[in-house]
Structure 1
Amino acid sequence: MSQRQVLPTNVKPVHYDLTLKPDLETFVFYGQVKVDLEVKEDTTQIVLNTHDIKIYSAVLTSTSLKTELKQTAKSIDYDAKKDQAILTFEQTMPGSTKASLDIQFEGELNDQMAGFYRSSYKDAEGKTQYLATTQFEATDARRAFPCWDEPALKATFDVTLIVPTELTALSNMNVISEKPYLNTGKMISGKHSQAKHEGATTTTTTGGKTEGKHEGVTTGKSEGKHQESSVEKKLKEVKYATTPQMSTYLLAFVIGPFEYIEAHTSGENNGHPIQTRVYALPGSVEQGRHALRVATAALEYFAQVFGEPYPLPKIDMVAIPDFEAGAMENWGLVTYRNVALLFDEKSSSIVFKKSTAYTVCHELAHQWFGNLVTMEWWEHLWLNEGFATWVGWLAVDHIFPEWNIWVSFVNEDMPRALNLDALRSSHPIEVAVNDPAEIHQIFDAISYYKGASVIRMLSSWLSVDTFLAGVRRYLQKHKFGNASTMDLWQALSDEAGVDVSKFMTLWTKNIGYPVLTVEETGDHVIKVTQSRYLSTGDLDSSEDTTVWWNPLGILTPKDIESYTLTEKSQTFNVPESGLYKLNAGQTSVYRVNYPIETVLRLADEIKKGSEGMLSNAADRVGLIADAGNLAVSGEQRTTAFLELAQAFVNEKDYFVWAQLSMHFSNIISVWAKEPETVVASLKELRRSLFAPVAHRLGWEFAPTDDYLTNLLRVLALTNAGRSNDPKTVTEAKKRFWEFVEGNNDALHPNMRGPVYGIVLVTAEDEAEEIKLWESILKIYHDESLPTDQRMIALNALGGVKSQELIMRYLKMSLDDKQVRGQDSIYVFRSLGINSDARDLFWKYFSENYDTLHAKFSKSLSLFGSAVRSVVSGFTSFEKIEEIETFFADKDTKEYARPLQQALEAAKVNAKWIERDNAVVADWAKKNAA
């Protein structure tokens, strides 16, 4: 039986007519919502969602009885624990009728980046100003207006915004009228709010206990403050067209002094050109050109592959200064962090070009997959996010084929999923969600990246064309409605003629993924055995019960053999040469543990470069990823990875180097507190591989260099410099000081972040480190720079040894004037990967827990990120025990999952170093320079 915390089903919303009047000085908004209802059964009570909303009056009117029945709620009760308002009426409203509910209310433009909230910015004179915006996913529409805030309770919406005349006001749909606002007294406003409130008794309950209160919730502002706002500025009333059927979490409004740039799609697949705009605060909108170009191409591409035109008349994309997530797919009005939307072709780092393109494509994919067809409940979140991730990359690959997107996916996105899913504390792709408070904890690498990875595996197996044909079936059948995972499997099964759910349910309902252990049995036959992969390396038989469906795709020198492993163990034929690799193109979700003889044969193929069997870079990336991760779990020695790495000395591909870099960084981080001779040997191996590439590519970015060459240049110089390559370090310091002294050409935008890191990590003493740090801090504070350049500087500040500087950095994260709340994540992550900062970071976190929790728990994902960063990097069981003791008496419900995962990640490190410390030390002695 479902334990979901949902609203009663006695009434159902059909249409909302919502009017909102926000005040950007008092941070109060007043509202009126008229909801057309279908009354399903006789009732005297209506329950709907509210959070930090004060209801003044609620009037229920029958619209289908012969004799009009109009009544005001006799009581308005609040259940704060369930985010519910209970409206009780005197007379019964009969079932199978229609009614209208008219509610007048008030709320606060909060500073929590949730619901209807305020965001700050500096005007041309440097004065702090405010704009209003929304973030409703998952369950925060209820902070903006009383509503039925569940994804399956779709309705249409009419929105009217009453705002200062000089501001731009946006919503999901196009504007149909704009006129001066005349206060006729119909709208709630501060000056008559008290009179309106006297109509009903109000109480607040907290989980069953009732406390008498005259006011249900307060906005944090005094009544006197409300009175002061009664002197009206010049206001306008902006009304928007009626939306299609949609879920409350996709509604949006943005109010501020925005400028825009505009383009139209070709109209080739949509039937007509779609008006596409990027909005940003004055002075920065030209940085939206890249996003605008991507959006116009993506809208036509998606209309083509989904077989369904974009259903709204326009799409607006808005850069918001304070925004917790990367972006939000509100239908027709997508909101973004500045850094996720704005890209300056001259001043931004190239690494942001791909991320901006992908974020735009991901959010626009949602306009169909998520908005047009919406998950039936939050346990199907992965349907939204996993699919949008996969198809977002599909669109980027279509627009930028030269970027080798699917090798990039194998290199970056799959590891995010597989690293998290290798922990016992992971969760299935499809996870039961009962309490709305739990929802934010599943917006993670499993829902997004494992979801996308299993979709890529399925689409590769069926063929992308067949898969997309099934998706078109699914969208046609469920458009403007809701659907579940099984609905998608059914559509794909109907298209492909196979029972997709039979094997895909194994992937969505079960935690983890397998490692396939290969045994060469003779006569050119291999035995492949699957078992669950755990990075702790201590799998118990009771945990190894899932038998996954695994497309093997065995790569040979001549072909790819399409086998499928469906049992615990099976045998397969391989070539006489003994040359083979499982998971051709890395399209499937598993690790492979080969015999050492096979690894050596594959290493020889790697040395042949494009002439060898492993000419597809994705296969070389996969080989490194498997070896690196099997070293972590103890299924191979760490030294086996270090020896394999040396086979890549002639490698040319950026993504292969990036995978090597990732594993070297991980090993050096875990071994950071071991004897200096060992760490020096590890860095020496990294330097021997990366320095020749860095010297070959040099520091200059030529206009003729392609995208991936530029990325490789950045990566090689970063690794060479951080491994103390003298030539690279000397050049980095020279260019840094020239740049600080005003020569912008000395340091290309692509190299600024890497150079900040190199000069800090190679500082010769604390005095030099402080001087460097202060210079980078000054760059961060320069508000004339593009956002990405400032965030690069902020992130770099955490890479220091000085305990004094680390403490300054930590204190900055608590000061909103120094670091926006949303940007504290850069501080936490930067310190979390700095082995010299871990102990002080933990000491500060534990001593200031209450302060940090009070500040960041308003944004639960931010606090979860802080917990993950401060805990997961430790490598000793003693420290882990101290951390567990600290959290033992804390209420960790809201961040239980990230805490559990961080503790387990630390245990993985501790077990790894305990297991392989001696063999790596011996290797270091033998390889000492």
Structure 2
Amino acid sequence: MGGGFYISKFVGVVGIVFGAGAVATVIALAVVYSQEVAKNEAVSPTNGGSTVKPPVTTPGGSTVVPQVTTPVIPTTAPSNEAWDKYRLPDTLKPEHYNLTLWPRLTVNAQGLYIFTGKSYVVFQCVKETDLILIHSNKLNYTKWGDDHLAKLSALGSTPVPTIKKSWLQPTTQFLVLELNGKLAVGESYQLDTVFVGELADDLGGFYRSVYLEEGEEKVVATTQMQPTDARKAFPCFDEPAMKAIFHITLLHPPTTNALVIMQKCCIMILNKTSSYCPTSFDETKKMSTYLLAFIVSDYDYINSTSDNVLIRIYARKKAIADGQGEYALNKTGPILKFFEKYYNATYPLPKSDQIALPDFNAGAMENWGLITYRETALLYDPNMSSNSNKERIATIIAHELAHMWFGNLVTLRWWNDLWLNEGFASYVEYLGANEAEPDWNIKDLIVLGDVHRVFAVDALASSHPLSSKEEDIQKPEQISELFDAISYSKVRSSIFSTYLNTFAYDNTVYTDLWDHLQMAVNSTGTSLPTGQTVHSIMNRWVLQMGFPVVTINTATGMINQQHFLLDPATAGSVPPSDFSYVWIVPIRWMKTGLLQKQTWLEDKTVTGESWILANLNVSGYYRVNYDNANWERLLNSIPVINRAQLVDDAFNLARAKYINTTLALRTTKYLRREREYMPWESALDNLDFFYLMFDRSEVYGDMQAYLKYQVEPLFKHFENITRNWTDVPNGHTDQYNQVNAIRVACSTGMEECQTLTKGWYSQWMKDSAKNPIHPNLRTTVYCSAIAAGGAAEWEFGWTQFKAATIAIEADKLRFALACTKQPWLLNKYLEYTLDATKIRKQDATSTIVYIASNVVGQSLAWDFMRDRWSYIFTQYGGGSFSFSNLINGVTKRFSTEFELKQLKQFQADNSEVGFGSGTLAVSQSIERTTANIKWVAENKKSVQEWFYAEVPK
């Protein structure tokens, strides 16, 4: 649909409140990043039998040992609209919690790891009610003297009503208390509970992580609350708007350490024969339940101080002893200082603990003052970690620290605005990492890392707007589904100080940010397009899905926009939009010899000798198409500044039928002369789609020959500048491109490359104590050698994987093991993903996807997933298997009618089992497969002919 463009005025406000170029990035950035935060459902503790409750510390400091009692079996409750809903009613407001937990780090007589606890919550009645609903999931409760699951008392003089009925409502995850009278508005009450839960290995709530150290199995009791798993650790009002203050006490073995988000305030060491040691902590700031963390381990740590903030890095003792926490420790202080300046707001806590966990489903979690990480996201070893590993650590630390203000201090009211939290943090992570590593020019990588990536998802008719209606996001699985590319990568700074100060320790909706942006516009006298406000401009980007393609006709000077869909045939299935899929788009453009920024593209005097290039540095969240004459001029003289963008736009415009596919392929012809990383990476990312579509067809051979011809000079270039692979390139992105050179050269059959990688791997097999392969190259070399080898190479890789003591090295091998061309080895590897003693649960999804990415393993992974879907879903829930990543990863190669039929049958066969956080992914896979079928039918012949013609004979 056509529409006008407001350019220069809008960019004026962009410059004030978002910074040059940031609006597109932040909008784009609300869409990518981690995508692995779905939660796991563990097997509940046994409902029958007796359970010994832990000693708990009363508010007065004395220790009470609860009696042996019988946990209550949930009973069927009468149907009632309030407790059958997933959201809390607006009748009660928590003020503070007192929580004591005792995790058992050894199994009990029933073979279970459990935790026991006692808590009370003080809440205020804000609306008269005779019903108390508090979240609870997979917890069993001890009956109080009145035979109910909790005890209610009043803190004021108003009489407290007695409890009429109490029960657990498993579907909506509530502990329900019906009262004989009503609670009084304005009065505060206290609700006491004693409970037991399983310290399961399900990666959600209060769970256990297990590792081996010096031959001894050790257990860590740790947490992951986001988004809805605090209720698995203790009964709570588990919604982000229900902020409260928490006082936490942990009971733990005297040989272990206890960590909570605040500092320790009281440690009471009991006699040597005691099985526990109580540690209490300072009360927290007013905060949301999903940001809580508490951990018991025998970890060691290193520490430093930055502007009176204590910084500590916790990890396994050997990891700390080997110096693997030093990099994170050295970079945390500078990043914290940067964000204090950027936000113009002091870090609000006395400490910043960061801890590396062997088992953790997400990449990291921004718990306030106690950030949890996968080991690969925090620990760095220069002898084992690659350049990309170091970059990942710097950016993830920056991402999580950014949340300390934007997300933790000021928090979203409900999960429908998750994009604001994650999108903003995903943008400023690049700024924080750039502060830590200024020589990397890491900000340039936003385009490749996030913007191009989200375009692929947001161009589907089954995409979704950034912000959903609150009423549309109710169930835990619906909340988990929001942790996708759209929420992380599709979303600066003069307004943040007032915004953060206004809403400190409170909750917001995204329109509050627009209000503060408008204040910045008004205070500076900046004008907006006629009749427009910040709300009206930004709502077009937030409340409707997708993005536009801007078409520029250099012959007429006309510009128009249209909703970009990867498959135009799906336009009829796109939901209606109040804005008719028209956006107000800022344009930056240049033409031959002249740079014009932030203006209307109104110059209609462009001659046939000139080219025009718009959306410089991808500063806008849109694609650009041109008339054929301008495309030809660009192809003959591609300017350095935007080569990566041109390639990505051209390939995707071709898939959407705006231009011919062969025109897009022509943008790769200059690769033979290209030495820069970003254009190569953009081209390879887009050619990957061609491999997915054609690596099982007769097109594959010609495509391989073409790419081999293009990569040969790059391979020779790095061979020369590294003195025959003995040196490391100096530049950050040059090191990345060296990896590309070896990966592509070997995968396209360059004999010199394959001899090189097989030789390195063979040398390692002969002396496993001396690995001759540089950490930067290990993933690629391992994969190449295992793909070219047989069982011996694979078994050696598996042995090294199991023996690896550094998670980053294990990850490299875990990926490479999926590269074998032997189906029986791939089938064995698939079976390993369901055995947590072989493949950790946190790694199961990505391992299956790695296997599916191998053309030999794709059908094996698909059959495996279909055959075991009910088991996977039932046993693993939504946590250890990130279902959206799994479904998309296994089906991304689908391009035949038979595969589409299978996919639809898979959807139908498992409708009762369900797909959890992967529900939308199934629909997107069907849509993507349908588009792939059409694309292959329309392009197969011309693509094969083009590849064949472009290779010198």
- Structure-1-length-normalised TM-score: 0.86
Relative contact order (C-alpha < 8 Å, sep 6+): which is higher? 2
Tell me the CA shift for residue 738 of structure 1: 0.9
Alignment correspondent of 1:258 = 299
Q: Secondary structure at the match of 1:825?
A: helix
Equivalent residues of 2:832, 2:838 under 8 A apart: yes
Q: Does 1:392 align with 2:429?
A: yes
Task: Give the one of 158, 168, 174 matched to 2:263.
Answer: 174
Does the C-alpha gap of structure 1 residues 550 and 20 become closer, same or farther in structure 2, counting only changes over 3 Å?
same
Task: Give the one of 483, 487, 490 matched to 1:450.
Answer: 490
Equivalent residues of 1:637, 1:916 under 8 A apart: no
Equivalent residues of 1:47, 1:85 under 8 A apart: yes
Which residue identity lines up with residue 752 of structure 1 in the other structure? R
Deviations 1:140-165 (A, max 9, x none): 11111111011011111111111111
Which residue identity lines up with residue 583 of structure 1 in the other structure? N
Tell me the CA shift for residue 447 of structure 1: 0.5
Q: Does 1:140 align with 2:171?
A: no
Deviates further, 300-309 or 25-34: 25-34
Does the C-alpha gap of structure 1 residues 821 and 84 become closer, same or farther in structure 2, counting only changes over 3 Å?
same
Q: Secondary structure at the match of 1:81?
A: coil
Deviations 1:616-662 (A, max 9, x none): 3xx22111111122232232233222222112333232222211221
Does the C-alpha gap of structure 1 residues 232 and 444 become closer, same or farther in structure 2, counting only changes over 3 Å?
farther
Deviations 1:270-316 (A, max 9, x none): xxx21101100110122111111221111111111111111010010
Equivalent residues of 1:537, 1:635 under 8 A apart: no
Task: Give the one of 351, 354, 362 matched to 2:388.
Answer: 351
Matches within 5 A, 1:799-818: 799-818=819-838
List structure 1 segments (4+ residues) > 6 angstroms apart after TM superposition. none
Alignment correspondent of 1:531 = 562
Equivalent residues of 2:554, 2:606 under 8 A apart: no
Deviations 1:726-770 (A, max 9, x none): 211111111111122227352111111101222234x2xxxx322
Q: Does 1:774 align with 2:815?
A: no
User: Separation in 2 of the partners of 1:81 and 1:738?
Assistant: 57
Task: Give the one of 496, 513, 524 matched to 1:471.
Answer: 496
Alignment correspondent of 2:859 = 839
Equivalent residues of 1:701, 1:710 under 8 A apart: no
User: Separation in 2 of the partners of 1:110 and 1:72?
Assistant: 35
Alignment correspondent of 2:254 = 165
Which residue identity lines up with residue 279 of structure 2 in the other structure? V
Does the C-alpha gap of structure 1 residues 260 and 661 become closer, same or farther in structure 2, counting only changes over 3 Å?
same
Equivalent residues of 2:784, 2:819 under 8 A apart: no
Matches within 5 A, 1:43-442: 43-56=129-142, 57=144, 58-65=150-157, 69=159, 73-124=163-214, 126-180=215-269, 233-265=274-306, 267=307, 273-285=308-320, 286-432=323-469, 433-442=473-482
Tell me the CA shift for residue 542 of structure 1: 7.8
Tell me the CA shift for residue 242 of structure 1: 0.9
User: Separation in 2 of the partners of 1:701 and 1:31?
Assistant: 58
Deviations 1:4-49 (A, max 9, x none): 8321222211011111111112322221212122122444431110
Tell me the CA shift for residue 686 of structure 1: 4.1
Does the C-alpha gap of structure 1 residues 574 and 587 become closer, same or farther in structure 2, counting only changes over 3 Å?
farther
Q: Secondary structure at the match of 1:797?
A: helix
Task: Give the one of 756, 759, 764 matched to 1:739.
Answer: 764
Tell me the CA shift for residue 861 of structure 1: 5.2
Which residue identity lines up with residue 660 of structure 1 in the other structure? A
Q: Secondary structure at the match of 1:705?
A: coil
Alignment correspondent of 1:915 = 938
Q: Does 1:751 align with 2:771?
A: no
Equivalent residues of 1:664, 1:686 under 8 A apart: no
Does the C-alpha gap of structure 1 residues 907 and 678 become closer, same or farther in structure 2, counting only changes over 3 Å?
farther
Q: Secondary structure at the match of 1:746?
A: coil
Deviations 1:678-726 (A, max 9, x none): 3433443443464343433445363672322222212211111111112
Alignment correspondent of 1:730 = 755
Alignment correspondent of 1:657 = 680
User: Separation in 1 of the partners of 2:189 and 2:838?
Assistant: 51
Deviates further, 130-139 or 800-809: 800-809
Aligned residues: 834
Q: Secondary structure at the match of 1:371?
A: coil
Alignment correspondent of 2:730 = 705
Q: Secondary structure at the match of 2:237?
A: coil
Tell me the CA shift for residue 571 of structure 1: 5.4
Equivalent residues of 1:560, 1:584 under 8 A apart: no
Structure 2: 5+ residue runs without aligned partners? 1-81, 145-149, 523-527
Tell me the CA shift for residue 443 of structure 1: 0.4
Which residue identity lines up with residue 235 of structure 1 in the other structure? Y
Structure 1: 5+ residue runs without aligned partners? 183-230, 268-272, 452-466, 607-613
User: Separation in 1 of the partners of 2:646 and 2:899?
Assistant: 33
Q: Secondary structure at the match of 1:176?
A: strand
Task: Give the one of 64, 84, 91 matched to 1:10.
Answer: 91
Which residue identity lines up with residue 349 of structure 2 in the other structure? L
Deviates further, 625-634 or 324-333: 625-634
Tell me the CA shift for residue 825 of structure 1: 2.4
User: Separation in 2 of the partners of 1:556 and 1:701?
Assistant: 43
Matches within 5 A, 1:894-913: 894=916, 895-913=918-936
Equivalent residues of 2:92, 2:127 under 8 A apart: yes
Alignment correspondent of 1:214 = none
Deviations 1:50-100 (A, max 9, x none): 0011222422222221x7x46764532111111111123445432221222
Alignment correspondent of 2:886 = 866
Alignment correspondent of 1:590 = 622
Alignment correspondent of 1:878 = 898
Q: Secondary structure at the match of 1:888?
A: helix
Tell me the CA shift for residue 520 of structure 1: 2.8
User: Separation in 1 of the partners of 2:283 and 2:762?
Assistant: 57
Equivalent residues of 1:794, 1:826 under 8 A apart: no
Q: Does 1:491 align with 2:516?
A: yes
User: Separation in 1 of the partners of 2:478 and 2:164?
Assistant: 34
Alignment correspondent of 1:760 = 786
Which residue identity lines up with residue 424 of structure 1 in the other structure? A
Q: Secondary structure at the match of 1:149?
A: coil
Identity of aligned residues (%): 29
Tell me the CA shift for residue 572 of structure 1: 4.8
Deviations 1:564-616 (A, max 9, x none): 67xxxx8554644422201011111111122333223223333xxxxxxx343
Task: Give the one of 659, 667, 670 matched to 2:690.
Answer: 667
Deviates further, 296-305 or 770-779: 770-779
Does the C-alpha gap of structure 1 residues 826 and 41 become closer, same or farther in structure 2, counting only changes over 3 Å?
closer
Deviates further, 662-671 or 419-428: 662-671
Equivalent residues of 1:841, 1:870 under 8 A apart: yes
Deviates further, 736-745 or 374-383: 736-745
Matches within 5 A, 1:622-637: 622-637=645-660
User: Separation in 1 of the partners of 2:573 and 2:363?
Assistant: 39
Which residue identity lines up with residue 262 of structure 1 in the other structure? N
User: Separation in 2 of the partners of 1:738 and 1:279?
Assistant: 36
Alignment correspondent of 1:509 = 543
Which residue identity lines up with residue 815 of structure 1 in the other structure? D
Equivalent residues of 2:779, 2:813 under 8 A apart: yes
Q: Secondary structure at the match of 2:697?
A: coil
Does the C-alpha gap of structure 1 residues 144 and 232 become closer, same or farther in structure 2, counting only changes over 3 Å?
farther
User: Separation in 1 of the partners of 2:604 and 2:381?
Assistant: 53
Does the C-alpha gap of structure 1 residues 88 and 250 become closer, same or farther in structure 2, counting only changes over 3 Å?
same
User: Separation in 1 of the partners of 2:573 and 2:551?
Assistant: 19
